[in-house]
Amino acid sequence: MLPNTSIALSGVPGSGKSSIARLAELSGWEVICVEELAKTHGLLGEFDPEEQAKEIDIEQLSKTLGSIQGPLIIDGHLSHHLQVDAIVILRCKPSILRERLQQRDYPEWKIETNIEWEIIGSSWSEIENTIVAEFETSDREANHVWSEIENWINEGTPSRNPFIDWMDD
């Protein structure tokens, strides 16, 4: 674990963030979710039944927190908007993601939205001034993915290319 390193753990719902976050905690990392940070700072909105989630003022949360010191992993699909040292994006093949979200009883519109988000790679490629690394979780055990992430962190979070492209899948 690198001292003072802050890592955002992001990806669409169903990509494996919670599983990786649990393994990070077991490895001695402090892990906090974006929703808890927003709640602590009074920036967690009411439950939006249309979106089926609580709204978070992520821009204000980023301003409030400023540059985040670690060692800390911030878990959540909005965590890549915060001022961290590096960002881990978990990626999952759209067909497997569909199965995972169906098992969670997501409504079809929300499944389609998240699959589209995954296919286009979201806005991951637009992140500037922060190191971003993608890790595929599709058919991989969480402990193997965490081991790969942990090795990447211990190597000093070097740049990783290429980004995962599902358009060729």
Are 68 and 7 contacting, i.e. CB atoms less than 8 angstroms apart?
Answer: no
Q: Which domain holds residue 65?
A: 6-155
Separation of alpha carbons 130 and 79, rounded Å: 13
The answer to whether residue 11 is domain-embedded is: yes
Examine the pLDDT at 52 and tell me if it is beyond 70: yes
CA distances from 102 to 51, 111, 146 (A): 16, 7, 24
Q: Is residue 165 part of a domain?
A: no
Alpha-carbon gap, residue 156 to 57, rounded angstroms: 31
> What pLDDT is stored for residue 13 in this prediction?
93
The count of structural domains within the chain is 1
Task: Report CA-CA distances (Å) from 150 to 82, 127, 130, 165.
Answer: 20, 21, 18, 23
- DSSP helix, strand, coil percent of the chain (3-state; round to 5): 40, 20, 40
For residues 34 and 80, give the distance between their C-alpha atoms in angstroms, rounded to a whole number.
10
Q: What is the CATH number of the domain that holds 119?
A: 3.40.50.300
Q: Which of 84, 79, 44 is nearest to 66 (CA)?
A: 84
Indicate the average pLDDT of the chain.
88
Pick the more confident residue, 26 or 129: 26
Q: Are 131 and 159 in contact (CB under 8 A)?
A: yes
Q: Which residue has the higher pLDDT, 88 or 121?
A: 88
Q: How confident is the model at residue 130 (pLDDT cuts 50, 70, 90)?
A: confident
- Under 8 Å CB-to-CB from 69, ≥6 apart: which residues? 4, 6
Residue 166 lies in a domain: no
Collapsing DSSP states into helix, strand and coil, what is residue 154?
helix
Would you say residue 86 lies in a domain?
yes
Query: 106 in a domain, yes or no?
Result: yes
Instruction: Read off the pTM.
Output: 0.90
In a domain, 168, yes or no: no
